[in-house]
């Protein structure tokens, strides 16, 4: 299992569009992907779950990834977050 903390950098945070991109990507992996923020954990493959986190710009989240392809999955998702979900700002 990989556990790592990341900061949401894009201006709009984990808003609907970003959440959709997140889930889209998470679904490509067999691993279980959980996001923890302020003590609550949600499934990284659930758009609704992600939205209820209300992760705005600057929020710190923890990714818990576990499964056969956890390395690939973690890398891909942290890239997406670092790349600000391909948003301009």
Partner 1 sequence: MEYFRLRGTGVSPGIAVGEVLLSEGIAFTSRKSGINKEHVERELKRLDVSIHRTGEQLKKLKEEIGKKVGSDHSFIFEAHLFILQDDYLISRIKEIIKEEKTRAERAISKVFEEYSKMFKSIENEYFKQREYDLKDVLSKIYLNLETDKKLKKDDGKEKILVAHDLLPSEAASRLSKGNVLAVALDVGGTTSHTAILARSLNIPAIMGLSQITRKVKDGDTLIVDGTNGEVIINPPLAIRREFDSKQKKYDSYVRELKKTATLESKTLDSVRFFPFANIELPEEVNLAFSMGAEGVGLFRTEFIFFQRKVLPSEEDHYQVYSQVVKDAGKKPVYIRTVDIGGEKNFPQLSIEKEPNPALGLRGFRLSLRERKHFKIQLRAILRASALNKNVRIMLPMITDLEEIEEAKLIIGEIKEELKAQKFSYDENIPLGIMIEVPAAAAVSDSLVKEVDYISIGTNDLIQYYLAVDRSNELVSYLFKPLHPSVLRLLKFIIDSAKKEKKEVTVCGEMAADPLSALALLGLGLKRFSMNPIFIPKIKKTLRSVEYKSAQMIVEKALSLKTAREVEEHFLESVLSKHPKALLTTEAS
The residues that are catalytic are 15
- By CB under 8 A, is residue 56 in contact with partner 1? yes
What is d(CA 26, CA 76) in angstroms, rounded to the nearest whole number? 9
Taking CB under 8 A as the binding criterion, the range among 28-36, 50-58, 63-71, 78-86 that sits at the site for partner 1 is 50-58
CA distances from 30 to 8, 49, 83 (A): 24, 18, 23
Assess contact for 26 and 45: CB atoms under 8 A.
yes
3-class secondary structure, 42:
strand
3-class secondary structure, 67:
coil
- By CB under 8 A, is residue 75 in contact with partner 1? no
- By CB under 8 A, is residue 47 in contact with partner 1? yes
Write down the least CB distance from residue 64 to partner 1, Å: 16
Q: Please give the residue ranges that form the binding site for partner 1 (CB under 8 A).
A: 12-13, 15-17, 19-20, 23, 43, 45-49, 51-54, 56
């Amino acid at each position: 299992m990989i556990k790592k903390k990341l900061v949401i950098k894009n201006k709009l945070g984990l808003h609907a569009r970003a959440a959709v991109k997140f889930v889209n990507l998470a679904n490509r992996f067999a691993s279980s992907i959980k996001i923890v923020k302020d003590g609550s954990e949600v499934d990284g493959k659930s758009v609704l779950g992600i939205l209820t986190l209300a992760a705005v710009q600057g929020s710190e989240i923890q990714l818990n990834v576990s499964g056969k392809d956890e390395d690939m999955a973690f890398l891909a998702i942290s890239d997406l977050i670092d790349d600000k979900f391909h948003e301009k700002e």
